[in-house]
């Protein structure tokens, strides 16, 4: 199939271009200016809309702040148009930790570290590397046109279709096989030594920043957890309990015989499936009854004196008024309140249809209020009876000790010599427990975990089909095949063509990145994990795997789905194939990834700040709200889910590393700094003022962040080794190998030295006794926090957000105690 494209040698003339299979799936590769304009239009409009709506819509944009403790230390933001920005900037890390907790602190620490790291890398790339590239890469040989250098450095090689003019300033074809096969010490190729040097420098700089930030996160985490006294900090999870020990008394005796401390309480999980099902049915029935009452009381009333002698006085004497949502109203409060009229009124009773008889083929209508009230009464009786029964014990228990030190000694020790029995792990917060999974056997939980993991892996591979289809359907080759006249029109209009090939692919990838986490979040809750914090960390890993595999490896390493097996087959013959293939193709996608970072940073972060989804859905929810419960839920803060945002940030981090040394990499680094700066302020505002984060993973996301950074370093080093090899600089390419080995060794050391401190509390970090006495001035280290003594003192007194959240809670299935 032929397609016209601009001839670089004769501007204004077009010549034929035959589309290959690869051309069908390569993303667009034209002007970044179009993407910049699109991103700025989206971002600026959303930002100004947020600044205008923020002071007027505090139920959404200050939902968390409105119901938060005033003593939390988080300052109120001014209602001026831009005044909230400097006020938000002045909110310290101490205040973030005190009001939002460890998970928010760790999340924002990653963004701050990335800003500092890529800021330094940008300076070196722009001041040192880019002049070297501009000097050594021959302009005449590369046929540079009159476009700006920003556009030219990111043009794809001539093998790519739909080029607007000229070729890339640096292609992998500039050194052909007719040259010296080894040009490692060729003076004309001396600039490649700078690539080797900066590969080492940027890798070591990344590891230095990560190591320094890891030590700081660990210090803060240890001091934060060591200065508070919650029931979670004193409780450990005991699994693999033998059948002869499955009673509260036996477990208590077993733990106390270890002589590590006294047991305060034991919650042995039992098979509460029947009870949980009844409580779940009751909740659904209660919502139906509330909706029925609300519909009944909203009807227009008619005065009827004859109703005084009727038999429905209890219903007709209900007070009525315009429904006003009461955020504090609980289940036992009145559904709708209002002044009493002192008169009886008539309303049309709501009806419902019930089915009965053989195969439920018969039906009749009945009074809905009476029907649901009677069903609720009978269900309450069943629940009361169910709570009195005894249930079979599971192999899991929550053991609460009298001190944090005793709990940590139990967690970090091996209790039983038999494999798989009496295993100890930190307990989640009581409100974080997924009780439906506690009474499943360990074998069932493992089976579900492996099944979901395998299914997610298969699903990730299946995603190749829609990703390849969407990418190919947005290429001019495909458009030419199905819509030749439209393709010809696009080839004549530069801006329209850029919109199709540049804007749409990045928009499609961004939409998939936003949609897939919802599916993986749904699947992870059925994986058998015992806490919502573990589920949140699992979703982060799954979504990152999807993002990294489909939008990095497939596009760069394989190019198309059809090339996967050929690349893998060649890699078995020659282990350098993967590095060479990645290096050869990664530059072809420079425009795509540059536009992707630009859209994510400049375009979509303001939309996240605006909470566009909540704004768009609010009128729909408002129309559908019937009961005070519905209205109260509308003003509750949205849930901040880290898995929806962290994987994309990690992918951008890896992209910045990979392109940092390549020609034009300073632009990627500059956009990386912009991305993480805007992300830091966006998420800081949402975590402190607008959104809730109910899961409590005690900063466990930092482990995921560090391992993904090390994965990015490996990809970066393999790419640079491949680039050097393709330039026939074999000595420099081999020189990357020690750095790769050093990175893998650092990952091994990280697992043994740092990871345990991100899971447990060291005994020396426990600075307060059970009576809650002041642990001393060294609780929150001055090297981490300085200048905010009030917040530090507040943390020392133990009023952390986690302690406030867990006041009065205990490890008990809510189905046993809920009113």
Length of the chain: 819
Q: Are residues 506 and 596 in the same domain?
A: yes
Same domain, 584 and 482: yes
* Owning domain of residue 289: 275-388
* Judgement on whether residues 671 and 580 belong to the same structural domain of the protein: yes
Q: Answer whether residue 534 is part of any domain.
A: yes
CB atoms within 10 A of CB 651: 23
Structurally, how many domains does the chain consist of? Answer: 3
Nearest to 334 by CA among 322, 357, 311, 318: 318
686 CB-contact burial (10 Å; exposed 0-12 / middle 13-18 / buried 19+): buried
The rounded distance, in Å, linking the Cα atoms of 801 and 94 is 12
Which is more confident, 683 or 10? 683
Is the confidence at residue 177, as pLDDT, over 50?
no
Which has more pLDDT, 343 or 627?
A: 627
Closest CA to 717 of 56, 201, 20, 13: 201
| CA–CA separation, 733 and 719 (whole Å) | 10
Residue 811 domain flag? no
What is the DSSP code string of 69-120? Answer: -GGG-PPPPP-STTTHHHHHHT--HHHHHHHH-HHHHHHHHHHHHHHHHHHH
pLDDT in tens, 350-375: 888 888 888 888 888 889 899 999 99
pLDDT at 317 over 60: no
CB 526 within 8 A of CB 452: yes
pLDDT score of 567: 54
Q: Say if 343 falls within a structural domain.
A: yes
208 plus 101 within the same structural domain: yes
- Work out the pLDDT band at 803, boundaries 50, 70, 90: confident
- Are 451 and 497 found together in one domain? yes
Summarised one tens digit per residue, pLDDT across range 524-558 is: 888 888 888 888 889 999 989 888 887 777 666 65
Structure tokens that stand for 330 in this block:
């609980």
Which residues is 3 bridged to in the sheet? 17
In a domain, 7, yes or no: no
Task: Give the least confident one: 25-34, 166-175, 238-247.
Answer: 166-175
What's the mean per-residue pLDDT of the chain? 78
Which segment of 205-209, 343-347, 637-641 scores lowest on mean pLDDT?
A: 343-347
**Claim to verify: residue 541 and residue 597 sit in the same structural domain:** yes
Whether the pLDDT of residue 629 is over 60: the answer is yes
The predicted-structure confidence for 243-273, as pLDDT tens digits, reads as follows 999 999 999 999 999 999 999 999 999 999 9
Whether pLDDT at 797 is above 60: no
Q: Are residues 422 and 333 in the same domain?
A: no
What's the pTM? 0.81
Are 469 and 590 in the same domain?
yes
* Domain contains 556: yes
Both 202 and 279 in one domain: the answer is: no
658 with 785, same domain: the answer is yes
Mean pLDDT of 511-520: 82
Neighbouring-strand partners of residue 239:
396, 423
DSSP 28: P
The pLDDT tens digits for 10-49 are: 444 444 445 544 444 444 445 678 788 888 999 999 999 9
Asked if 354 and 216 sit in the same domain, the reply is: no
Q: Regarding predicted confidence, which is higher, 406 or 468?
A: 406
Segment (H or E) for 236: strand 235-239
* Model confidence at 773: pLDDT above 50: no
Residue at 166 is within a domain: no
Q: Is the dihedral of CA 214, 539, 452, 283 positive or negative?
A: positive
Q: What is the pLDDT of residue 471?
A: 57
Residue 279 belongs to a domain: yes
pLDDT band at 679 (very low <50, low <70, confident <90, very high): very high
Say if strands 393-401 and 14-18 run parallel, antiparallel, or are unpaired.
unpaired
Please report whether residue 415 resides in a domain: yes
Q: Please give the structure tokens belonging to residue 76.
A: 């109120």
CATH number of the domain bearing residue 421? 3.30.70.330
Do 633 and 497 lie in one domain? The reply is yes
């Amino acid at each position: 199939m032929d397609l016209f494209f601009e001839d670089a040698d004769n501007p204004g003339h077009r010549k034929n271009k035959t589309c290959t299979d690869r051309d069908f799936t390569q993303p667009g590769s034209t002007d970044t200016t179009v993407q910049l304009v699109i991103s700025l239009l989206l971002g600026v409009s959303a930002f100004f809309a947020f600044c205008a709506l923020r002071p007027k819509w505090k139920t959404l944009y200050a939902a968390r702040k409105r119901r938060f403790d005033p003593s939390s230390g988080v300052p109120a933001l001014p209602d001026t148009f831009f005044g909230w920005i400097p006020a938000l900037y002045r909110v310290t890390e101490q205040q973030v930790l005190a009001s939002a907790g460890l998970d928010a602190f760790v999340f924002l620490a990653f963004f701050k570290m990335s800003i500092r790291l890529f800021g330094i890398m940008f300076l070196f790339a722009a001041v040192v590397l880019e002049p070297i590239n501009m000097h050594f890469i021959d302009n005449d040989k590369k046929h540079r046109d009159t476009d700006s250098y920003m556009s030219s450095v990111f043009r794809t090689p001539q093998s790519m279709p739909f080029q607007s003019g000229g070729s890339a300033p640096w292609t992998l074809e500039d050194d052909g096989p007719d040259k010296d096969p080894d040009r490692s010490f060729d003076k004309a190729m001396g600039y490649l030594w700078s690539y080797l040097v900066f590969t080492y420098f940027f890798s070591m700089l990344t590891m230095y920043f990560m190591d320094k930030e890891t030590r700081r996160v660990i210090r803060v985490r240890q001091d934060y957890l060591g200065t508070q006294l919650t029931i979670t900090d004193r409780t450990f999870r005991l699994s693999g309990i033998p059948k002869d020990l499955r009673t509260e008394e036996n477990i208590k005796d077993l733990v106390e015989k270890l002589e590590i401390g006294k047991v305060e309480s034991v919650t042995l999980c039992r098979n509460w499936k029947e009870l949980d099902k009844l409580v779940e049915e009751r909740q659904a029935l209660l919502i139906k009854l509330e909706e029925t009452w609300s519909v009944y009381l909203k009807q227009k009333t008619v005065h009827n004196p004859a109703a005084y002698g009727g038999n429905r006085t209890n219903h007709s004497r209900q007070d009525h008024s315009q429904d006003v949502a009461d955020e504090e109203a609980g289940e036992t409060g009145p559904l709708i309140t209002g002044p009493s009229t002192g008169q009886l009124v008539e309303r049309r009773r709501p009806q419902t249809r019930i089915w009965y008889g053989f195969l439920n083929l018969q039906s009749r209508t009945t009074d809905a209020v009476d029907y649901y009230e009677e069903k609720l009464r009978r269900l309450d009786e069943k629940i009361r009876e169910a709570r009195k029964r005894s249930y079979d014990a599971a192999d899991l228990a929550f053991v609460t000790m009298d001190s944090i030190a005793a709990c940590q000694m139990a967690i970090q020790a091996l209790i039983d010599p038999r494999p798989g029995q009496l295993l100890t792990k930190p307990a989640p917060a009581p409100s974080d427990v997924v009780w439906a999974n506690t009474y499943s056997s360990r074998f069932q939980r493992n089976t579900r975990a492996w099944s979901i993991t395998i299914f997610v892996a298969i699903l990730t591979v299946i995603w190749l089909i829609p990703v390849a289809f969407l990418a190919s359907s947005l290429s001019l080759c495909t458009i030419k095949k199905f819509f030749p006249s439209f393709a010809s029109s696009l080839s004549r209009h530069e801006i329209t063509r850029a919109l199709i090939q540049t804007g749409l692919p990045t928009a499609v990838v961004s939409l998939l990145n936003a949609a897939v986490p919802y599916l993986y979040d749904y699947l992870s809750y059925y994986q058998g994990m015992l806490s919502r914090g573990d589920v949140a960390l699992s979703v982060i890993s799954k979504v990152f795997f999807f993002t990294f595999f489909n939008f990095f490896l497939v596009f760069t390493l394989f190019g198309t789905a059809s090339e996967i097996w050929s690349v893998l087959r060649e890699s078995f013959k020659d282990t350098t194939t993967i590095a060479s293939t990645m290096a050869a193709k990664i530059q072809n996608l420079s425009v795509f990834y540059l536009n992707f970072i630009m859209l994510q940073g400049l375009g979509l972060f303001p939309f996240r700040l605006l909470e566009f989804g909540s704004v768009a859905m609010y009128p729909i929810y408002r129309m559908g709200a019937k009961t005070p419960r519905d209205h109260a839920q509308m003003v509750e803060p949205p849930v901040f889910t880290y898995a929806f945002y962290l994987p994309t940030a990690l992918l951008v981090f890896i992209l910045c590393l990979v392109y940092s040394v390549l020609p034009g990499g300073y632009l990627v680094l500059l956009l990386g700094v912009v991305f993480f700066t805007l992300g830091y302020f966006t998420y800081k505002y949402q975590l402190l003022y607008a959104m809730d984060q109910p899961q409590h993973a005690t900063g466990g996301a930092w482990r995921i962040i560090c391992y993904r950074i090390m994965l990015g370093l490996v990809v970066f080093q393999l790419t640079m080794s491949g680039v050097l090899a393709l330039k026939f600089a074999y000595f420099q390419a081999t020189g990357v190998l020690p750095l790769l080995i050093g990175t893998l060794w650092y990952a091994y050391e990280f697992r043994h030295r740092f990871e345990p401190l991100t899971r447990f509390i060291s005994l020396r970090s426990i600075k307060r006794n059970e009576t809650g006495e002041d642990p001393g001035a060294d609780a929150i280290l001055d090297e981490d926090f300085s200048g905010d003594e009030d917040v530090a003192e507040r943390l020392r007194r133990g009023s952390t957000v986690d302690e406030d959240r867990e006041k009065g809670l205990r490890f008990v299935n809510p189905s046993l105690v809920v009113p």
